[in-house]
Amino acid sequence: MNVDRKVKPDPEGTPVGVVQLKKIGNSTGVILPKELMARLNLSVGDSFHTSLTPDGGIRLTPRDPKFEKAMEVARRGMKIYRNALAELAK
């Protein structure tokens, strides 16, 4: 997935397509329309992380929320210990 091209968020939640659930072997797959895949710059095999929204919906994101939280903590630590890390890097 190319994350360079971002889709602008829609605060009104305007529907952009319909997805279908289909039986695939012993599993269930989500079928995305080709137009939606093109708009989101997705390709077959891309992975997503899912989370439930407060209003009962599902949010799909290419980024792992746990990783993002860990990076936030790491950035704070790097800012606090910037001088020590710079000395260690010499």
Tell me the domain boundaries of the chain.
Answer: 1-46, 48-90
Q: Indicate the burial class of 32 (C-beta count within 10 angstroms; 0-12, 13-18, 19 or more).
A: middle
Average pLDDT over residues 13-27: 83
Query: If pLDDT is split at 50, 70 and 90, which confidence band does 2 have?
Result: very low
Beta bridge partners of 47: none
Query: If pLDDT is split at 50, 70 and 90, which confidence band does 3 have?
Result: very low
Q: How far apart are CA 43 and CA 38, in angstroms?
A: 8
Which range is least confidently modeled, 22-26, 47-51, 72-76? 47-51
Q: Is the distance from CB of 47 to CB of 61 less than 8 angstroms?
A: no
Tokens 């790491």, residue located? 74
Beta bridge partners of 14: none
pTM: 0.48
| Tens-digit pLDDT profile for residues 29-63 | 988 888 888 877 788 888 888 888 898 888 877 77
